[in-house]
Amino acid sequence: MKIERVELQHLQMPLRFRFETSFGSTTMKDFILVSVYGDGEVGYAESVAMPDPFYSEETTDTVWSILEKFLIPRLFAHPIESPEEVERLFAPIRRNNMAKSALEGAVWDLSCKQKGISLAKALGGDKKVIDVGVSIGIEPTVDEVLAKVERSLGDGYKKIKVKIKPGFDVQVIRAIREKFGDDVPLMADANSAYTLDHLHIMKELDQYGLIMIEQPLAHDDIVDHAKLQAEISTPICLDESIHTAEDARKAIELGSCRIINIKIGRVGGLTEARRIHDLCQANHIPVWCGGMLESGVGRAHNIAITALPNFTIPGDTSAGSRYWEEDIVEPGVELIAPGELAVPDGPGIGYALNQKAVGKYVLRTAHFRP
Ligand SMILES: O=C(O)CCC(=O)c1ccccc1C(=O)O
Ligand SMILES: [Mg+2]
């Protein structure tokens, strides 16, 4: 593969809403856009690390640093035939999965554009349309959550995920069930806010027919999750605890979850994301694609991986206009029917960059050549 240069851009985009989870709240999306150039084409991807190390240990600045000091030099130093080889190239560097994923994803996009095939197809996905859901943050009041649920159901979203934390959990779920009924495909995401001491709350939540409870316990745990799963009938879904296919294998063996949320950035790239997908498929564990408030670039990558067959549960990749006044891709990532996104069939991610918008949001840029 011909790789001539790499560009890093640190972007800051204002969100249309304040997004709160059990670990913090944000009104600004801060990320690194990676562009890899070769043979007249450009591949794009974005890093999903946040400015603060609250969801994971990585931050926007650690991603920049690891890319600059280690990953980009390794990519330049070792010729590769295909994007599948990038993972092995980066393997000596421990963790830093979001940094790895940002560069690996841009190489995947570049490779697809050089070959003239879509990223979804290159990964082995053949869906033309994917079902998607929304992720609703913690709000100052239950009524504000209800208003967002109502709007999301109106847009036809196929899964409603609400964030919970101790003190803002059972009453939210109960209110949603009372107002919208038992048929709403509903789930809760705790972002590791609970321990086994909260078993009584988990047993209460267990009464509401949730599709799943996402990451109730510690971010680095799979043992207590197995104990909890044995106590409740609602499937547990792991997010923060799964960084590799090996993590997924162990969690499945232990019975720590019945569903896995795959985030390309959290697992270090598209190659590992697909490996986890395949492992889960072989073990009858359904998967779905999580979101990290991505710009259109990250959203396009999420759509491509969701085209794989074992992504049977609607993910968090909702329309770009929910998040942005002006996105950095053209056309915008928008619903083609209620709760449905199209899988582009153009080369690579299938969306073009809106350079004028990028120019509006960029804080710093750096260029790298072999
Ligand atoms: O709308 C989205 O992109 C999903 C948002 C979301 O749930 C999330 C956003 C940032 C960090 C962690 C999570 C999560 O899934 O836990
Ligand atoms: Mg989550």
Q: Residue 250 — very low, low, confident or very high, per pLDDT cuts 50/70/90?
A: very high
Task: Please indicate, yes or no, whether residues 221 and 256 belong to a single structural domain of this protein.
Answer: yes
Report the separation in Å between the CA atom of 241 and the middle of ligand 2, taken as the mean of its atom positions.
Answer: 10
Kindly state if the Cβ of 216 falls inside 6 Å of ligand 1: no
pLDDT band for position 341 (cuts 50, 70, 90): very high
State whether 128 and 41 are in the same domain.
no
Domain of 322, CATH number, reads 3.20.20.120
User: What pLDDT is recorded for position 349?
Assistant: 98
How large is the angle between the packed helices 270-282 and 296-306, nearest 10 degrees? 30
Catalytic residue among 100, 113, 159, 163: 163
Quick: pLDDT tens for 255-306: 999 999 999 999 999 999 999 999 999 999 999 999 999 999 999 999 999 9
pLDDT at 69: 98
Instruction: Write out the E strands in 158-257.
Output: 160-163, 186-189, 213-214, 236-238
Are residue 363 and residue 237 in the same domain, yes or no?
Answer: no
Total length of the chain: 370
Q: pLDDT by residue (tens digit) across 318-339?
A: 999 999 999 999 999 999 999 9
Catalytic residue among 161, 263, 356, 360: 263
Ligand 1 center to residue 254 CA distance, Å?
26
CA distance 49 to 58: 6
Distances in Å between the Cα of 183 and the Cα atoms of 5, 176, 180, 199 are 51, 11, 8, 25
Number of domains present in the structure of the chain:
2
Is 11 contained in some domain? yes
Instruction: Give yes or no: residues 191 and 141 share one domain.
Output: yes
Q: Indicate which residue's Cα is closest to atom 16 of ligand 1.
A: 191
Tell me the mean pLDDT in the region 175-204. Answer: 98
The band of 195, judged by pLDDT with boundaries at 50, 70 and 90, is very high
Query: What is the average pLDDT across 51-70?
Result: 97
- Domain identity same for 94 and 160: no
pLDDT for 17 equals 94
- Is 69 a residue of the active site? no
Q: Residue with the nearest Cα to atom 8 of ligand 1?
A: 292
Is the pTM value of this prediction over 0.80?
Answer: yes
89 and 27 assigned to the same domain: yes
> Are residues 167 and 275 both part of a single domain?
yes
Place of tokens 């997908």: 277
What integer best gives the mean pLDDT of the chain? Answer: 98
The verdict on the CB of residue 292 being under 6 Å from ligand 1 is yes
Q: What is the pLDDT of residue 228?
A: 98
pLDDT at 302: 98
Tell me, yes or no, whether 292 and 334 share the same domain: yes
Q: Give, in order, the Cα–Cα distances in Å from 259 to each of 49, 135, 253.
A: 23, 17, 13
Residue 152 forms part of a structural domain: yes
Instruction: Tell me which ligand sits closest to the C-alpha of residue 265.
Output: 1
Atom of ligand 1 nearest to the CA of 189: 16
Q: Quick check: helix, strand or coil at residue 118?
A: strand
Is 306 in the same domain as 360? no
Does a structural domain hold residue 157? yes
Strand, helix or coil at 201?
A: helix
* CB contact at 8 A, 155 and 337: no
DSSP code string of 224-246: HHHHHHHH-SSPEEESTT--SHH
Percent of the chain with pLDDT over 70: 100
Residue 115 bears catalytic tag:
no
pLDDT digits (tens, 9 = 90+) for 111-151: 999 999 999 999 999 999 999 999 999 999 999 999 999 99
pLDDT digits (tens, 9 = 90+) for 4-42: 999 999 999 999 999 999 999 999 999 999 999 999 999
- For 44, phi then psi, to 5°, come to -125, 145
Q: Which residues pair with 43 in a beta bridge?
A: 36
Domain that holds residue 261: 122-342
User: 286 and 153, same structural domain?
Assistant: yes
Q: Are residues 111 and 147 in the same domain?
A: no
The DSSP code sequence of 2-58 is ---EEEEEEEEEEEEEEEEETTEEEEEEEEEEEEEEETTEEEEEE---BSSTTSSS-
User: Which CATH number do you get for residue 82?
Assistant: 3.30.390.10
Give yes or no for residue 191 CB within 6 A of ligand 1. yes
Let me know if residue 41 belongs to a domain: yes
Residues 267 and 148 in one domain: yes
